[in-house]
Each structure stands twice: as C-alpha cells, then as structure tokens.
A and B are shown apart, each in its own frame.
Chain A
C-alpha cells in the first residue's frame, strides 16, 4: 500500500500491538498486532480454538474475570492503553459494549433491560430514560415489535428478538464499539438475516468487531476480515481481498472449506 493511502486512513479505534494471552501455561494468543478501523465491521474468523474469541474479549478486558488469564502487549483504545494500571474498566465496558452468542436478556421487563445501563450510569429522569429506550429499540430494529409490551419480560421474546434486545441494551449507553461473539449462532436464518441487516445499519454509527464461525457471514457483513489459526493472526485485510485472493494458503484452505 502506498504511503499516501496509509495517511488517508482514519485513526484506528483499537490499536493492538504484540498481544499475547496465556491461560496458565497455555498460550491462546501469540504476538498478535491488529488495528480496528472506525465505523466499519471487522470480522474475526478461524477454526475453533484459534483464539478469535479470546482476542475479542481482550478488547473490553472481559478476560480479567478469568483468574488464570494473563494479557501482555499493548491494546490502545483511541490512543489510551486499556491495560495500564488504574484504567477505569467499568468505563471501558460502557465504551465497548458486548453481545454474546446466546441472547442473555436480564429477567426483567423489556424497558428495564434497555434502561439498565443508563440508570447505572446515573440517569434518573423517566422521560430521558423513555427516550433512550425508544431510540435504542428503534436502532436495534425492535421498537415496532415491542412498543406495546415494554412491561413484558425480555426473556419471553423469540431468540432473534432477544438478541436484538441485547443489542438495544448495548447501544443504550452510546458505546463507541460493539463486540459481537457469534451473535447469530443460536438463531435461525431469518433472525440471522435481521441481525446482519441491523449490523449493516449500526456500522454507520458504531465500530463493530464480530467473531463468527460462518465464513459467509463474514464475507457478507464485514469490511475487513482477520483470520486466526492456533492463536496467531495469519492474515488481516479487506474482506473482498481475503475472500477473492487470500495471501496465505492457510487462509484459503479455511475460507474455501478445505480440511487441514
């Protein structure tokens, strides 16, 4: 790539340098350096156990919850080292929201689910909360389906609706980044298509990093793709290049569905 093009690139949201992750003696991530560009979807792909979910969880320090986990290297969010001593992890998780594989709404009303984050953040005004709930549910493409039953339990919605509720909950606190860890793996193809449409819309306002087992989902949705294998980042580039002319044989073998 020419120097000119490099300069034209907007500053990375996440800049990761030589990241290593150990679970006890096991090294799950090996010397990974990767930049995440703003307002686009980055897909992390690779076979099971390749470290893609581990890497995703490094981005909002979810791995802190695992006692044996040790992260070294440098991960910067907007230029600030998120692993430096004294970094506010609660604030980090507001800025970097997360949606999981299995929809996990709280056993509360739809309204409470979405208002949860802003309330913890100190918003008390009911009108302001109503406004946030509606805006978030609209952004998550769920408003029309639930506007007349906001008092109902979130857990009573369908799987796809629950996942969109979780997305609404994540965006209610205005994060910069949304991490998605296989958000469609528990959903049927129709619900999956809705989430993908939603991601496509959300990328205008948010930076999205998604871990997916579906190569086609990565190909359909993302602007950039990173291929992980045995803890290493093998290849990272524009999705259209990765799926048309991957540079590494391992990447081609994986995306074209070859074994071994």
Chain B
C-alpha cells in the first residue's frame, strides 16, 4: 500500500497519484528521522542536532506545499470520484498532519539545545525519554501498517496514543501553555488557507520564532 491507496488505469492519472504517494513517502521518512533526532537531542542537547532537524523541516514544508499543488492539479484535470477522491483528500490531510508532526520534532530539538546552552537538562528526563520512545514506536507502527497494506496495524498506532497520553498528564501545566500557542498556530494556518482559497497561491506567513 502506499500513502495514496488507489490505482488507476489511466496512465497519466496514475502517474500523478504515484507522484503524490512518493512525496508523502518522503515526508514520512523525513518525519521519522526528525523524530529520531528529537529523541537523541534529549541526551545530547546538541545545537547541530537541532539544526539537522531544522533542515529536514524545511524540506517537509516544501513537500507539503507540493502535495497541495499536486492534489489541486489532479482535482482540476482528472475529476476524481469515489475511492480516488477519498484517497486524494486523505493525502492532503496526511501531508498537513506530517508537516505538523515535523514541526513538533523540530521544537523538541530547539528546546533541548536551549536548555543545553544554559548548562541544564530537561526535567523528568527518564519520563521524557520514555515518552519519546513510545511516540517513535507509534509512528513506526503506523508506517509499517501503511507499507504492508495493513490497515489494522496502521490503526493500532491510534490506540497506542493512549499510552503516550498517560505520561502527558504529568506535565499538564506546561502543555496548557503550549495548547494556547498551538491555537495561535492554527489561526496562522487558517489565514494561510484563506489566502490559498482566494489566490490559489500557497504561502507561509513568517515563521514563528517560538514553537
């Protein structure tokens, strides 16, 4: 299976679908790397490590824009319906989720680098590392499910989220602040989408300095 689980007999349509799938595949691989680097940065607090995640994040952002463009072009040119349409609309949403996932990985790297700059370490280190491992396993399960055309496995990642959430509760207070920040981020995204709807042009309003 691929990230665009459909196959068409029209070669040009099929090639376009394959193109979207390949872009999502690359996004997923980059996300997994970013997540790995984020986990490592908990121990190292290395600035270089944070930079590597940054570079991948830039590429992931471009890929998300590219997926949006490709899907819009397929909608305009091939009039997909039924299963093809579901596969494409899902691709669009997946690219957005992956892009956000990479943003969070980037921010983990950046925070660890900041703490290292002050010669300090993340608090509750073991718990945070465990959280990292669980999250990584969740993502690996999802990717394995997609690769092996195993919808059940891919869905299993969803139930694993509960395990991560139980650790989450410990650091609730910190995340209340983070949730407010995320809301702000979503509002920025909504503004970008409004721009896209009006002009067809994908833009990225200035990157937030803080995650």
Contact = CB atoms under 8 A, between A and B. Distances in A.
Nearest to B10: A257
B93 interface: no
Interface centre among A243, A252, A257, A258 (most CB of B within 10 A): A257
B58 interface: no
Interface in B67-82: 78-82
B13 interface: yes
B82 A255 contact: yes
B9 to A, nearest CB: 5
Interface in A223-260: 243-246, 252, 255-260
B9 A252 contact: no
B79 A252 contact: no
B58 to A, nearest CB: 36
A219 B81 contact: yes
B84 interface: yes
Contacts of B83: 252, 256
Contacts of A255: 81-82
B82 A245 contact: yes
Contacts of B85: 244
B176 to A, nearest CB: 40
B8 interface: yes
A5 interface: no
A260 B84 CA distance: 16
A244 B9 contact: no
Contacts of B10: 257-258
B79 to A, nearest CB: 6
A119 B6 CA distance: 57
A244 B65 CA distance: 26
Contact of B8 (A243, A245, A257): A257
A246 B83 CA distance: 9
A258 B78 CA distance: 12
Nearest to B78: A257
Nearest to A243: B81
A257 B17 CA distance: 14
A244 B89 CA distance: 12
Interface centre among B9, B78, B80 (most CB of A within 10 A): B9
A252 B86 CA distance: 13
Nearest to A260: B9
A244 B81 CA distance: 6
A2 interface: no
A246 B82 contact: yes
Interface centre among A244, A245, A256 (most CB of B within 10 A): A256
A216 interface: yes
Contacts of A245: 82
B9 A259 contact: yes
A221 B157 CA distance: 42
A243 B79 CA distance: 11
Interface centre among B9, B78, B81, B84 (most CB of A within 10 A): B81
Interface string A204-217: 00000000000110
Nearest to B80: A256
B82 A244 contact: yes
8 A-B pairs with least C-beta separation: A259-B9, A258-B9, A243-B81, A252-B82, A256-B84, A255-B81, A256-B81, A256-B82
Interface of B: 8-10, 13, 78-85
Given A252-B82, A256-B83, A257-B78, 5 more contacts: A219-B81, A243-B81, A258-B8, A258-B10, A260-B9
Interface of A: 215-216, 219, 243-246, 252, 255-260
14 contacts: A215-B79, A243-B81, A244-B85, A246-B82, A252-B83, A256-B8, A256-B81, A256-B83, A257-B10, A257-B13, A257-B78, A258-B9, A258-B10, A259-B9
